């Protein structure tokens, strides 16, 4: 693998604490690949041969069933995805599709599995990563089951503002079509909901989000650390929708 990409990856919590020699071993076995936009890199059900690390671009993770599909996450640099499938040596549960031109590091799953037996620090890092991912999906499930679509949209908008540092205005990181699917609704419904939220303190102008009355919006959302995070010691990666979904 090209050594210039190493430092970015080395910074990830997953790889930060392992022995340099071990990290080098993993990187030697890995390689970088570039994908054009809209390409299915992984189809759900495929055997999990590689841990994927997004270097540039963005990747959509989608679940599919009976001809339907839903966006489960959007992964942005620099973060990993489908760690769990690699570890279990089990089929991918989600399809991965590039949203734009994307560079990916592919780490052979077998090397990965061998490595956390060799390097105790790495094992601990994997444990922490999986636990964090797990908790994030549980949060997500809670949000889906406890909130209606309006509340989900509002909480999403407020949360993104917080992640951006509490700014009153920002730009949506993903297409509304994807956001709708991620939030478990149709694009039409999202569009209507966004408009209706103008009465509750957020105005949407294209991809621009303007929080006009934070107090009012917060009252509607009732943000909850156990759903919206952040987790203490959160592993803040740069994911566009929610977070890493290792």
Partner DNA sequence: CTGGTCATTTGATATTCGTCAAGCCCCAGG
Partner DNA sequence: CCTGGGGCTTGACGAATATCAAATGACCAG
143-173 b/e (C-beta count within 10 Å ≥ 16 → b)? beeebebbebbbbbbbbbbebeeeeeebebb
Torsion angles phi and psi, residue 104, rounded to 5: -130, 140
Is 131 a binding residue for a second copy by CB under 8 A? The answer is yes
- How near is the Cβ of 103 to a second copy at its closest, in Å? 25
* CA 31 – CA 49 distance, rounded (Å): 13
Judge contact between 71 and 178, C-beta under 8 A: yes
State which of positions 199-218 bind DNA (CB under 7 A): 204, 206
Q: Count CB neighbours of 100 within 10 A.
A: 12
The answer to whether 90 contacts a second copy (rule: CB under 8 A) is: yes
> Under the criterion CB under 8 A, does residue 123 sit at the interface with a second copy?
yes
Contacting residue, 25, 49, 121, 175, with DNA by CB under 7 A: 175
Among 2, 7, 148, 215, binds DNA (CB under 7 A): 148
Which entry of a second copy, DNA, none binds 219, CB below 5 to 8 A by partner kind?
Answer: none
CA distance linking residue 46 with residue 43, whole number of Å: 6
Site string for a second copy, 31-50 (x = CB under 8 A): -------------xx-----
Contacting positions for DNA (CB under 7 A): 148-150, 175-177, 184-195, 204, 206
């Amino acid at each position: 693998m090209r050594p210039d990409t190493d430092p970015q990856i080395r910074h990830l919590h997953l790889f930060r604490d392992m022995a340099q020699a071990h990290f080098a071993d993993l990187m030697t076995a890995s390689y970088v690949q570039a994908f054009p936009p809209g390409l299915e890199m992984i189809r759900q059900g495929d055997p999990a041969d590689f841990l994927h690390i997004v270097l540039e671009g963005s990747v959509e993770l989608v679940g599919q069933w009976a001809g339907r599909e839903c966006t489960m996450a959007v992964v942005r640099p620099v973060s990993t995805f489908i760690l769990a499938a690699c570890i279990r040596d089990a089929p991918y549960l989600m399809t991965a599709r590039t949203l734009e031109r994307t560079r990916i590091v592919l780490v052979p799953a077998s090397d990965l599995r061998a490595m956390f037996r060799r390097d105790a620090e790495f094992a601990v890092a994997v444990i922490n990563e999986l636990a964090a991912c797990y908790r994030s999906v549980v949060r997500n499930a809670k949000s889906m089951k406890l909130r209606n679509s309006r509340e989900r949209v509002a909480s999403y908008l407020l949360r993104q503002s917080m992640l951006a540092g509490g700014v009153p205005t920002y730009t949506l990181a993903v297409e509304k079509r994807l956001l709708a699917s991620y939030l478990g609704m149709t694009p039409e419904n999202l569009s209507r909901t966004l408009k209706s939220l103008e009465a509750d303190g957020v105005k949407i102008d294209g991809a621009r989000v303007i929080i006009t009355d934070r107090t009012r919006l917060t009252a509607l959302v009732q943000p909850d650390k156990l759903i919206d995070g952040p987790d203490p010691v959160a592993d803040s990666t740069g994911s566009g929708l929610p977070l890493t979904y290792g």
